[in-house]
């Protein structure tokens, strides 16, 4: 088989793979699974006192008009360049709800915890 026809077959193979939204890992296996770990996260501690104070301030300052139906502070590890992750495999956050606060259910809200009928947009805080 000539080098040209082999390259043509290889190019067609990669095109077929991409056409099915697949990606071969062998060209990037070393990058994905290096012999030694290359963690980017750094040891970090978020103090509850600080989280609570900032969450309470969000309740005072962030209104529904400012996106406040979900007052959530995500733990962002400084080693991850501002990404909202506590580690490379863990997401964590603190959500602030005032007493008598209501917020809409999301796609991840289990149906048995649906928002009570007494919670109307006029009562959201």
Residue ranges making up the domain that contains 63: 39-99
How far is residue 59's CA from residue 10's CA, in Å, rounded to a whole number? Answer: 58
Domain-embedded: residue 120? no
Do 92 and 53 reside in the same domain of the chain? yes
| DSSP character string of 103-118 | ----TTS-GGGPPPTT
Do 43 and 84 reside in the same domain of the chain? yes
Q: Which of 1-5, 56-60, 75-79, 91-95 shows the lowest mean pLDDT across its residues?
A: 1-5
The residue whose two tokens read 């990404």 is: 83
Domain-embedded: residue 18? yes
Domain-embedded: residue 57? yes
| Tens-digit pLDDT profile for residues 29-83 | 888 888 888 889 999 999 999 999 999 999 889 887 787 677 899 999 999 999 9
| DSSP character string of 12-43 | HHHHHHHHTT---STTTHHHHS-SS-------
How far is residue 20's CA from residue 38's CA, in Å, rounded to a whole number? Answer: 31
Q: Is residue 117 scored above 60 in pLDDT?
A: no
């Amino acid at each position: 088989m000539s080098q040209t026809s082999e390259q043509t077959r290889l190019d067609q193979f990669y095109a077929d793979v991409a056409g099915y939204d697949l990606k071969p890992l062998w060209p990037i296996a070393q990058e994905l699974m290096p012999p030694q770990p290359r963690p980017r996260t750094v040891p970090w501690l978020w103090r509850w006192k600080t989280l609570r104070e900032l969450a309470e301030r969000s309740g005072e300052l962030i209104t529904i008009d400012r996106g406040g139906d979900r007052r959530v502070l995500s733990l962002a590890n400084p080693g991850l360049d501002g990404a909202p992750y506590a580690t490379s495999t863990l997401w964590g956050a603190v959500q602030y709800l005032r007493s008598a606060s209501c917020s809409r259910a999301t796609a991840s809200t289990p149906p048995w915890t649906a928002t009570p009928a007494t919670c109307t947009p006029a009562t959201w805080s």
